[in-house]
Structure 1
Amino acid sequence: MPFLYTWDEFMKLGDDVPNEQLDAVIDSLRANECCSLIYTSGTTGNPKGVMLSHDNITWTARTTSVILNPNRGEEILISYLPLSHVAAQMMDIWVCMSSAGTVYFAEPDALKGSLINTLKEVHPTGFLGVPRVWEKMHEGMKAVGAKVSPLKKRISDWAKSIGLQYNYSVMKGENVVPWGFMLSNNLVFKRVRANLGLDRCRVCCTGAAPITKETLKYFLSLNIPVRELYGMSESSGPHTLSLTEYRIGSCGKVMPGCKTKLVDPDEDGNGEICFWGRHVFMGYLNMPDKTEESLDEEGWLRSGDLGKHDEDDFLYITGRIKELIITAGGENIPPVPIEDAVKNEVPIISSAMLIGDKLKFLSVLLTLKCVMDDNGEPTDDLSPEVLAFCRQHGVKATKVSEIIANKEAAVYKLIQEGLERVNAQSASNAQKIQKWVILERDFSVTGGELGQHRQAFLSCSMTENKVGSIHV
């Protein structure tokens, strides 16, 4: 196979390069010079070339590898994201190089379903899964679990309640092992980890986009804590991590050697998140004006994200500054927490988009979970999870269009009741959803609702037949 080398063959490629030439290259390098260019997604204009220096990369890689693998054990990772993405570059190349690890490359269709097969083949020691990977695993496992016998379901539900109890105890720092945990571990947890290929995984992480609390709680109940990370291309990847300490819904605490500050916080403590540290980029290539907008004179990086800290200094992302909805009444409303709450309360919802800028009240556009085609594009076919709900409530529809055309009472009632629960938690009347509608098609790149960068995380379509017989 062309371009495939054994290690000895690879080392021989340098035999004809004189040491003087190698030394000259090494001597020409400077820690504060650009080493890598990563282009942003361009969701707020043309893509910008993020210049990461040698020091940015080596410091971040070393710090991250020590945090993720403090005992310097064997590191085995899977590369499945495009290497143009900062998470892939940092984890698959630089962190792995820093820890002398091994990288396995997934198949080209990893995000269309084959990633689960690679996980089961490789059994990585660490795994960074973008939210859609975890969510699709969750959906597939629930679909399989819905078909098991009542006895197996009762055993599974009991084990998951024990797993959730134990992990909530760990989060509080109590580490109380409840009665039945060892039995649950042997009957369910170990088997699930093995079937997912995560039996050797020391750390399971997620980042790059928001993940639902429902999915986090589901894996927590299976004794698979999925820890959230937060950062940007401009911060060489990670800025906050959830590892030895974690909270559901939080992206963790700031990395050692770095600082976070919240600018112009409101009465609830929500302010713009700013970063400082050796991981902060040099600037944007040939864009001094954009660099000046993002970096102040003291080296603080403006993220554009809104967030707040809890009493234990865990960071929570609450929205984007440019996404703020300003109603006709003048109230500023961050849409992300409300959209997330809708998806948490109504599990059959795939996407929720709040609208209400310059309007008298809030409305929300909803899409139902559906099957993705081989290109990761939404189809009209309902997902197994939605189909299961329909069968339980006597709804014969199998397509999104049928749900909408018939205005299926059970589905519409479920959504209405979920929105009422969301409204009951609203901080003010202005933040309550007054109207909603189900769209005929889920969001996608071709439909114009998503950018290419976002779609990389939404195109994974692991259906239940690709997850294996995991009865949970």
Structure 2
Amino acid sequence: MTIFESFSQSALKHSSKTALMNREKGEYIGINYKELMNSVNAVAEGIKRLSIGKGDRVGIFSYNRPEWVIADLAVLKIGAVVVPIYHTLPSSRMKRIVSDSNTRLLFVENTSLLAVVKEIKDDCPILRNIVVFESSEPIAEHDILQFDSLRHEKCKSVASEESPDVSANDVATIVYTSGSMGEPKGVILTHKNITSNAFSVMRKFRVTSEDVFLSFLPLSHMFERTCAYYATLFAGGTIAYVKDMSAVAEDIREVRPTILITVPRLIEKVYESVEKRVSQGLFIRRGFVSLAVKRLNHYANLKHRGAKIPLFLRIRRPLYDVFVASKFRKIAGGRLRALACAGAPLDRKISKILYILGFNIVEGYGLTEASPAVCLNTVEENELGTVGKPLDDVEVRMGENDEIMVRGPNVMAGYLNMPEETSKVIDQDGWLHTGDKGRFDEKGNLIITGRIKEIIVTSYGKNIVPAPIEMEIARNRYIDQIMLCGDKKKHVAALIVPNREFVMSYAEEIGIRFDDYQSLLHRDEIRDLIASEIEKSSLELAPYEKIKAFTLLAEPFTVENEMLTPILKLRRTKIAHEYGELIDQMYEGKK
């Protein structure tokens, strides 16, 4: 079954139900499945009038919004191939994607992003037409259209049939990986790859027409696209879009989602915010919250072990839940049944605290090359610290060096224009070599232990997995981001982005005078503070794993400066190249 066929069946079944919601002029406006199908049909006809047909590549350069979905489904309906492009990408990387994929038509969110496209348009002759979703003024250029003008009003039928020559084995999308270790590759995914994965997620996570998702991870990433967008629409659920990430808390309260899909860094940010609010509260209130969390944690541990729970704890637990835990759940809208997290391991301490406050944190594992879901915990069967069991139609085994290997209908067709790279990761038996390290626990749940290419091997031959160390140190309130380095070097060093707010507060508390933030980071008092905090976080580390030198950076790693992937993973190769001189200085004893 193709993606459009899967959506079409759901649209016929749930025609009057709200499919998508978007904030317009301050309030959420919804469109139902019948209206969505009508829009898809109209846009599909409009695309065909631009001489786009089966196999042609069509890009979408936009943040999440209903038009993204309409354009995507319309392109897929006529058998063309969707090339999603992150809305934060600079023109240089966008040019590479458009050229490599031979994108002929490009949907663009607004005039601001249109300006980025115009920078590369003359260098990409294959790009014939551009369609802008949102424009406050008429566009006078002949090859640039407004989205509304593309719609073919004569074709509006929920019962519209898909073109018969589009099959499940046809290419649906080419997704360029975020490239945390190097240059991005175009991952070729078929309709079958994606529908098999979306339906597996839907079944395992028990997504129904009653579910409401709040969408804020980029639709250009397969995690959001398969697990939130496709799985939800195939089930007849509702998707609400966040327009402004700074107002996401307000959106959560208004939409009251049943499921949220996110990445660890965003959960950690929310946790830090809550922790800060609690720490700044009245002493008595702060003490009660701390006691409640401690007692709820004790209750959860006893229950998990099947041990007898003391009477006083059984009596007081409902009180702790009403006066503390329920307040936190209310922030999330009050009906959140699951908070799904993937992309990187979540801090165990944070997941446990949120769990005892009544949030069902369920971690999963996947990668773009697997469409993307491989393993997933569920609300009913949730083992903290693991990413759950493989999906029903997915096989997982450990290869050499404990590398996670995946096989199933979700595994990609290959990398675009890269046959040698494809043969390196998919063997003759169809196993995808992920590059991730892992192991199974006694219950069959997968535990991610690291990334093969990220392992630091010192000049003394010691192997160090940086991610767990970075995670432990980044728990500290004074440290916002950290990247370890030291491959082929004599010891481990680190690039550290301090938490600006807490560091400046500390400076004021101890009376440090400074001209600007950059100069503050060079003060001995601040370096001593960071060194002390690193030492506290390193007590359990082997001597060769401990940081011997570090450099403090004023500028954070962001998606915009290309130091983070769109799902907030470190782009290690890029960071190492950008700060190569500072890294060298740490080994020369200058920092």
TM-score (ref. length: structure 2) = 0.65
1:95 counterpart residue number: 231
Kindly indicate whether residue 189 of structure 2 is the aligned counterpart of residue 52 of structure 1.
yes
Q: Do residues 142 (structure 1) and 275 (structure 2) align? A: yes
C-alpha displacement of 1:143 = 1.9
Residue in structure 2 matched with residue 66 of structure 1 by the alignment: 203
Structure 2 distance, partners of 1:73, 1:387, is 48
**Counterpart AA for 1:132:** R
CA-CA distance at 1:442 after TM superposition: 2.6
Whether 1:309 aligns to 2:440 is yes
**Structure 2 residue aligned with 1:127:** 260
- Residue in structure 2 matching 1:406, options 512, 518, 523: 523
**Cα shift readout 1:357-408 (whole Å, capped 9, x = no counterpart):** 22222222222123xxxxxxxxxxx25xx566667x7466797546534322
Kept in 2: contact 1:230–1:251 (CA 8 A): yes
Superposition deviation, residue 158 in structure 1 = 1.6
Local SS of the residue matching 1:165:
helix
CA deviations over 1:219-263 (Å, ceiling 9, x no partner): 234222322111011111211112233344322222223222122
CA distance in structure 2 between the partners assigned to 1:22 and 1:192 by the alignment: 46
Q: CA deviation at 1:51?
A: 1.9
Secondary structure class of the residue paired with 1:223? coil
- 1:157 partnered with 2:290: yes
2:513 maps to 1:434 = no
**Distance in 2 between the 1:95 and 1:325 partners?**
38
The alpha-carbon distance between structure 1 residues 388 and 171, as it changes in their structure 2 partners (threshold 3 A), is: farther
Give 1:218 deviation, angstroms: 3.3
CA, structure 1 residues 175+192, in 2 after alignment: closer, same or farther (shift >3 Å)? farther
Amino acid at match of 1:425: E
**Displacement of 1:274:** 1.1
Query: Secondary structure in 2 aligned to 1:28?
Result: coil
2:10 corresponds in structure 1 to none
What amino acid sits opposite 2:168 in the alignment?
A
Partner of residue 362, structure 1: 492
Whole-Å separation in 2 of the counterparts to 1:435 and 1:457:
20
- Deviation at 1:452? 4.5
Sequence identity of aligned pairs in percent?
A: 27
Work out the CA distance in 1 between the residues paired with 2:489 and 2:175: 38
How far apart in 1 are the matches of 2:568 and 2:558? 7
Equivalent position SS for 2:557: coil
- The whole-number CA distance in structure 1 between the counterparts of 2:31 and 2:551 is 56
Relative to 1, partners in 2 of residues 1:254 and 1:140: Cα closer, same or farther, differing over 3 Å?
same
For the pair 1:339 / 2:475, whether they are aligned, the reply is no
Q: Distance in 2 between matches of 1:9 and 1:247?
A: 41
The equivalent of 2:375 in structure 1 is 240
SS in structure 2 of the partner of residue 408 of structure 1: helix
Q: 1:420 to 1:77 in 2, by over 3 A?
A: closer
Q: Which has the higher contact order (CA 8 A, sep 6+)?
A: 1
Matched, 1:425 2:540: yes
CA distance in 1, matches of 2:166, 2:262: 34
C-alpha separation in 2, matches of 1:161 and 1:215 = 14
SS at match of 1:224: coil
Q: Name the aligned partner's letter for residue 321 of structure 2.
A: N
Amino acid at match of 1:135: E
8 A Cα contact 2:478 2:530, kept in partner? no
Of 103, 118, 125 in structure 1, the residue corresponding to residue 251 of structure 2 is 118
Report deviation, 1:101: 0.3
After superposition, give the CA deviation of every residue in 1:153-199 in whole Å (9 maximum; x if it has no partner): 122112211332344455557796942221111111112111232x1
Change (3 A) 1:404 1:77: same
Query: What's the CA shift string for 1:417-448, capped at 9, x where partnerless?
Result: 542552x423x433233333433333235656
Q: How far is the alpha carbon of 1:451 from its aligned partner?
A: 4.1
For 2:170 and 2:306, how far apart are their aligned partners in 1?
Answer: 43
1:99-148 Cα offsets, whole Å, 9 max, x none, are 110111111x22xx211111111011111122222122112112221222
Alignment correspondent of 2:50: none
The residue type paired with residue 252 of structure 2 is L
CA pair 421-58 structure 1, distance change in 2 beyond 3 A: closer
- Residue 44 of structure 1 and its aligned partner are, at CA, apart by 4.2
Matching residue of 1:281: 412
Does the alignment pair 1:195 with 2:331? yes
2:263 and 2:344 in contact (8 A); partners too: yes
Segments of 5+ residues of structure 2 without an aligned counterpart are: 1-23, 42-152, 572-591
5+ residue gaps in structure 1?
266-270, 371-381, 459-472
Indicate the SS of the match to 1:87. helix
Is the 8 Å Cα contact of residues 217 and 567 (structure 2) preserved in structure 1? no
Tell me the C-alpha RMSD between the 2 structures.
3.3
Alpha-carbon contact 2:344-2:569 (below 8 Å) kept: no
Output the amino acid matched with 1:300: W
Aligned residue-pair number: 427
* d(CA) in 1 for partners of 2:482, 2:38: 55
Paired residue for 1:416, among 511, 532, 547? 532
In 2, Cα distance between the equivalents of 1:183 and 1:145?
Answer: 18
2:364–2:375 Cα contact (<8 Å) kept: yes
Change in 2 beyond 3 A, CA 1:22/1:80: same
Instruction: Report if the CA contact (8 A) 2:435-2:453 is conserved.
Output: yes
Residue 219 in structure 1 maps to residue 354 in structure 2: yes
2:211 is aligned with 1:75: yes
Change (3 A) 1:299 1:169: farther
Instruction: Determine the structure 1 residue equivalent to 2:179.
Output: 42
Partner in structure 2 of residue 181 of structure 1? 317
1:463 is matched with which residue? none
How high is the TM-score relative to the length of structure 1?
A: 0.80
Amino acid in the other structure paired with 1:354:
L
